[in-house]
Amino acid sequence: GNESRLQAIHQITNRQATPVDQPEPLSKIWATDVFNLAKMEECLSKNAFKSIKKTVQTGAPLDPATAEVVAAAMKEWAMGKGAKFFSHIFYPMTNASAEKHDGFIVTNSEGNAITEFCGSLLIKGEPDGSSFPNGSIRMTNAARGYTAWDPTSPAYIMQTENGATLTIPSVFMSWTGEALDKKIPLLRSNAAMNKAAQKVLKLMGESEIAPLNSSCGAEQEYFLVDANFANARPDLLLAGRTLFGAPSAKGQQFDDHYFGAIPQRVQIFMQDFEEQLYRLGIPAKTHHNEVAPGQFEIAPYFEAANVAADHQQLLMTVLKNSAKKHGFLCLLHEKPFAGINGSGKHVNWSVGNATQGNLLDPGDTPHDNLNFLLFCGAVVRGVHLHGPLLRAAIATASNDHRLGANEAPPAIMSVYLGDQLEKLFMDIKEGNLSVTEAGGEMDLGLSQILNFKRDPGDRNRTSPFAFTGNRFEFRAVGSAQSVSGPLVVMNTMLADSLEWVAGKLEAELASGSDQATAVLAVLKDLINEHGNAVFGGDGYSSDWHNAAVDERGLKNIPTTADALPALREASVKQLFSSTGVLSPVELESRFEVYSEQYVLAIELEANLVVEMAKSIIYPAAISYLSELAAANVSMAEMSIDLDSSIAKTVAAETNAMMAAVAKLSAALEQHDFASTEEHMQFLAKDVRALMDEVREHADTLEAEVSDELWPLPKYREMLFIK
Ligand code: ADP
Ligand code: MG
C-alpha cells in the first residue's frame, strides 16, 4: 500500500524546523577554521614564516626543519579548536574525496597519553590505499599508496558530529611515484601551462613575467528532496536518481520555481550551509533557484585552480552533510528526474599571473589585445584538436543522461566566442586585418580590437565551451564530478597549443616580421586549421548536429562508452607525455578506472531496476488487479457489468514489464566480453535500452494503478512538497 508515502507526507507536514543561530557577521567567521598564511604568520617565527610562505606561493620544496615547526604550530592551533584527530584528505581517481584519520594522541611506553604529530607525519601519511581504484598501476607493485601534504592548499578543521578533525589536503601516489589521484595531474598541468605561456610572453617582448596559474570558479547545481521521500525510494538512495517515476502533471513548464522566492526551509538550510563554507574559507558568492522545481545553485568566487578544486570537493561534502542536517537528501546526480532539467557544473577557467594579469582578458592596450588573441586562439586550437578528450573528461554514466538532452550542451565540442570576437578571428583568417602605423604606435589598424567589450551580453547558453568576456566556461561538466579532470585537460591542451604558438611566432619573428604582423600570421594559420571548432549558433538544434559532423568534421560522442576510448588514442598519449602531465601508464590507468566506474554504475542501476520492478512495482500491480477482480466478481453477482479496460491494461503492462525484466536479467548474466570497450558498448546500447523498456511499462502502471496502492513517492510529491 501507500503507507510509506503517507507517512512521509505526514512527517514533512509536521516537521519542526532545524534551529539555526542568527547569522554571524562575515568578518567574524571568515576562514576561522582554516590554517592559512595569516594564522601561520601569527604563530611562526619570521624565518619559518618566510620559508613556508615561499612554499605556499610558489610551490618551492619545503625544508624538513620548517615542516617540523609548521607541524607543531598546526597541531597547537587545531587542538586549541578541539581537534583530536588529523587526516590527510586526498582525491582518488573516482570523483570522491578520501581520508585516513589518525589520532593526535598516542600512548607512550609508560602507558600515558601524549600527543604526537611531527613534521614527517604532516608531510607524508601512509594510508593503506589498496581499496582505491588504481587501474593496474599498483597490481604488480606494493599495494600501498602514499599521501603527501600539498602546502599550496591550506589545512582546515572539519567539524562533524564525531568532533573536529584537522584535515590536510594531500596528493596520493604509488611508491614508484605514479599519480594515483586527481591533484597531481592538476599541479603538473599548471606547471606545463606556465612553461609554455612563459615562452609565448617572452617572445611577445614581456620583460618581467611572474609564474602563471590557472583559476577556476565552479557553479554547482543540485536538487533537494525531503529525506522522508528519499528514504522510501531505494533508487534515490543507492543510485542518486529515480529509475522509475511517471511525469508529474505540473513540472517545470511554468518557470515559477526559477523566478519564485526560495522556500523558507531551503533559505534556512542555505544560511547554515554558507556559514560553514565561510568558516572553511570558501568564498560562496551567489545562490539562487534553478530551472527545475527543487533545484538550486551555489557559485563560489573563483580561486587558484588547485585550491578551487579542493574547495569544490569540500563544498560537495558540506552540501550533502548540511542537507542531511536539515532533513533533505541533496542530489548531485546529473539527471535525478526524467523529463525535468538536470544539474551540471559550469567550470569557469582562466589563466594569468601577477605581472600580465588575466591573459584571457582583452585588456586596454593593443599590446594586451595581442597577448589575449594568442591565448584565446590557443584555446580554440585546443578544443578543435582535443574535443574528444574534453568529452572524455566529462564522461560518466550519469552525465550521459544530460548531455544532448536539449537542456544541456550537446555532446559535440565547439567553442562559442561571441559575435565580436568571432568576427575578429574570421577577419584575421580572411586577411581583412592589416597592420598600420597609427599615432606612432603599432596597432591592428582596426578600432574593433581596442574597443573590445569585456563582457558581451550575448551569452550563448547552448554552447558547451563559451568565452564569457574574461574566461572560458566549460558548461558540459557533470554536477557530481570533480572539477580536476576538466581543468587538467584545459590546462594541458592550452600548454600544448601555446608551445605550438611559440614555435610559429619564433619563426615569424626570425624571418623579420614585426610583432603585430607575426601575431596575425600565426593566428591566420591557426584559424585556418582550427576555426571549424568555432560555432556561435544554436547548439541544441538538429541542423548543428548534422553540420558539425558532416561539414565541420567534429565528433558527436553521445555516451561514455564512446568517449572513454579517446584516452587510448595516440594523439592523447602524445599530448600528455609531451607536456609531462601523465605518463602512458598513468593515462592507461585512468582509462581503466573510469571504464570500471562506468560499468559498475550501470550494473548497479540495472540490478536495482530488476529488484524494484519485481519486489515493489509488480506486487502493487497485482494487488490492484486482485482488487479489480474481486470488484468484478461482486458486481457480476449483482448483474452489473464493470468495464474491464483498466484491468486489461494493468495486466498487459505488468506482463510486458516482467518480460523486459527477464531480458534485462539475462543481459546482466553476460560476462564474456572481448574487451572493456565491448563491455561498455553492450551496457550503453543493450542494457540501458532494456532498463528504459522496463521503466516505460512501470511508469504506465503508475498512472493506472490506484494511488492507494502505489508505494513509491511520486514525482509531484518529491518535487513540490517541502
Ligand atoms: P553566470 O552568469 O554564468 O551564472 P556568475 O557570475 O554567477 O556567472 O559566476 C561565474 C563564475 O565564474 C563565478 O564563480 C566567478 O567567480 C567565476 N569567474 C569570474 N571571473 C573569472 C575568471 N577570470 N576566471 C575564472 N573564473 C571566473
Ligand atoms: Mg554559468
What's at 605, amino acid-wise? E
Q: Find the 687 Cα to ligand 2 centroid distance in Å.
A: 34
Query: What's the residue count for the chain?
Result: 722
Distances (CA, A) of 366 to 221, 362, 375, 384: 38, 9, 14, 27
Q: How many whole angstroms separate alpha carbon 170 and alpha carbon 146? A: 9
Instruction: From 190, 291, 348, give the residue whose CB has the most ligand 1 atoms within 8 Å, as the site to mutate.
Output: 348
Q: Find the 219 Cα to ligand 2 centroid distance in Å.
A: 6
Encode pLDDT of 161-216 as tens digits. Answer: 778 999 999 999 887 789 999 999 999 999 999 999 999 999 999 999 999 999 99
Which ligand sits nearest to residue 349's alpha carbon? 1
Encode pLDDT of 242-259 as tens digits. Answer: 999 999 887 777 666 665
Check residue 467 and report its DSSP letter.
Answer: E
- 446: cell is 582596426
Check: CB of residue 428 under 8 Å from CB of residue 523.
yes
Per residue in 304-319, is it b (16+ CB within 10 Å) or e — as a string?
bbbbbbbbbbbbbebb
Element (DSSP H or E) covering residue 417? none
Check: CB of residue 319 under 8 Å from CB of residue 222.
yes
Instruction: From 190, 216, 220, 302, give the residue whose CB has the most ligand 1 atoms within 8 Å, as the site to mutate.
Output: 302
Per-residue confidence (pLDDT) for residue 624, from 0 to 100? 98
Q: How many whole angstroms separate alpha carbon 629 and alpha carbon 633? A: 6
Encode pLDDT of 363-383 as tens digits. Answer: 877 778 899 999 999 999 999
The percentage of residues in the chain with a pLDDT greater than 90, rounded to a whole number, is 69
Q: How many whole angstroms separate alpha carbon 657 and alpha carbon 196? A: 58
What's at 488, amino acid-wise? V
Q: How many whole angstroms separate alpha carbon 364 and alpha carbon 240? A: 47
Q: Nearest CA to 200 among 647, 508, 618, 640?
A: 508
The 3-state DSSP class for residue 342 equals coil
Q: Find the 379 Cα to ligand 2 centroid distance in Å.
A: 18
Residue ranges around ligand 1 (CB below 6 Å): 215-217, 219, 286, 299-302, 346, 348-350, 358, 470-471
How many Cα atoms occupy the beta-carbon half-sphere of 127 within 13 Å? 25
- Give me the phi and psi of 149, to 5 degrees please: -60, 135
Check: CB of residue 64 under 8 Å from CB of residue 119.
yes
Check residue 247 and report its DSSP letter.
Answer: P
Q: Nearest CA to 481 among 96, 135, 223, 132?
A: 96
Q: Find the 287 Cα to ligand 2 centroid distance in Å.
A: 12
- Is residue 269 pLDDT above 80, yes or no? yes
What are the residue ranges of helices labelled H in 453-583? 484-510, 515-530, 542-550, 560-563, 570-579
Q: Which residues contact 474 (CB under 8 A, 6 or more apart)?
A: 346, 347, 348, 349, 390, 394, 464, 465, 486, 490
Mean pLDDT is lowest, of 195-199, 538-542, 572-576, 580-584, for: 538-542
Overall average pLDDT of the 471-483 stretch? 96
Check residue 412 and report its DSSP letter.
Answer: B
Distances (CA, A) of 57 to 123, 125, 285, 302, 471: 17, 23, 24, 17, 23
Check residue 180 and report its DSSP letter.
Answer: -
What's at 473, amino acid-wise? E
Treating both helix axes as pointing N-terminal to C-terminal, what angle do 515-530 and 366-393 enclose, rounded to 10 degrees? 20
Beta pairing partners, 417? none
pLDDT band per the 50, 70, 90 thresholds, residue 551: very high
Check residue 141 and report its DSSP letter.
Answer: S
- 648: cell is 486489461
Q: How many whole angstroms separate alpha carbon 166 and alpha carbon 72? A: 13
Per-residue confidence (pLDDT) for residue 63, from 0 to 100? 84
Which ligand sits nearest to residue 299's alpha carbon? 1
Question: Any idea which residue has 497485482 for its cell?
Answer: 622
Overall average pLDDT of the 648-659 stretch? 98
- 182: cell is 586527481
- The ligand 1 atom at the shortest distance from the C-alpha of residue 218 is 14
Neighbours of 29 (CB within 10 A): 16
Encode pLDDT of 482-541 as tens digits. Answer: 999 999 999 999 999 999 999 999 999 999 998 888 999 999 999 999 999 999 988 888
Check: CB of residue 453 under 8 Å from CB of residue 467.
no
Per-residue confidence (pLDDT) for residue 440, from 0 to 100? 34
- 153: cell is 592548499
| Ion ligand 2 neighbours, Cβ < 5 Å | 219, 346
Q: What is the ipTM of this complex?
A: 0.96
Instruction: Show contacts of 660-664: CB within 8 Å, 24+ apart.
Output: 660/690, 660/693, 660/694, 660/697, 661/609, 661/610, 661/613, 661/614, 661/694, 663/690, 663/693, 664/606, 664/609, 664/610, 664/690, 664/691, 664/693, 664/694
Nearest CA to ligand 1 atom 4: 219
Q: Find the 346 Cα to ligand 2 centroid distance in Å.
A: 5
How many Cα atoms occupy the beta-carbon half-sphere of 702 within 13 Å? 20
- 590: cell is 585512468
Q: Nearest CA to 284 among 314, 264, 254?
A: 314
Q: What is the mean pLDDT of the chain?
A: 89
- Is residue 455 pLDDT above 60, yes or no? no
Question: Any idea which residue has 550575448 for its cell?
Answer: 458
Instruction: Enumerate domains of the chain plus CATH numbers.
Output: 31-181 (3.10.20.70), 189-596 (3.30.590.10), 597-720 (1.20.120.1560)
Overall average pLDDT of the 622-638 stretch? 95
How many Cα atoms occupy the beta-carbon half-sphere of 92 within 13 Å? 21
Neighbours of 662 (CB within 10 A): 13
Per-residue confidence (pLDDT) for residue 34, from 0 to 100? 97
